[in-house]
Amino acid sequence: MKNQPIKLFILSIIFILSFNEVNAQDKCKYSFDKEDPMTNERVRRNYIKGKPFFQFAFYRKADDFRFETLLKFNGTQEFIVPKGQEMNIKLGNGDVIIVLNADAATPNSYVSGPQVMTNYSMSYFATKEQMELMAKHGISVVATHLGNKTYTLEFKEKNLEKDKAKIACMLVD
């Protein structure tokens, strides 16, 4: 009989913790969340804040995880970002992970008002383990070599927790 209150207390704690975990999963919101009509697999994407010229998203289709970037240049650019090009991602804890470009990215030039702009869209393979590290520690800096320059972007500390939550949502089944 003396163990009854202890058992009830432990069961209450387990119930509360499991309810919080389910509740956290319900809070996940995605920029894109649809079913692929061909494969019936769920496809999700979440954008995180970068800069107007350097934008980022996380993508998941089944067990295919990606880190996506859109880089915008003033003027016409003609270089091609090769398949396998590295992007370095510095985590909030100081560790650096490397992701590789899934496909060659070609320039997409267009006229915007009085000027010509060029966009590059890259999709980098990420493992589930890399996504888990990004969700745990957040991203502080990304850097990649494109054309004849290295492009580096530091993420704002104030967005770290929000970005970590968006990345964590990509891991929810």
- What does the pLDDT look like over 56-74, one tens digit per residue? 999 999 999 999 999 999 9
Q: Quick one: how far is CA 165 from the chain centroid? A: 10
Q: In the structure, how many helices (H) and strands (E) does the chain have?
A: 3, 10
CA distance 86 to 62: 23
- What does the pLDDT look like over 131-170, one tens digit per residue? 999 999 999 999 999 989 999 999 999 999 999 999 999 9
Would you report the helix, strand and coil content of the chain in percent, each value rounded to 5? Answer: 25, 45, 30
CA distance 37 to 35: 6
E runs forming strands in the chain: 32-35, 42-51, 54-61, 64-74, 86-91, 96-101, 108-112, 115-126, 139-146, 149-154
Is pTM beyond 0.75? Reply is yes
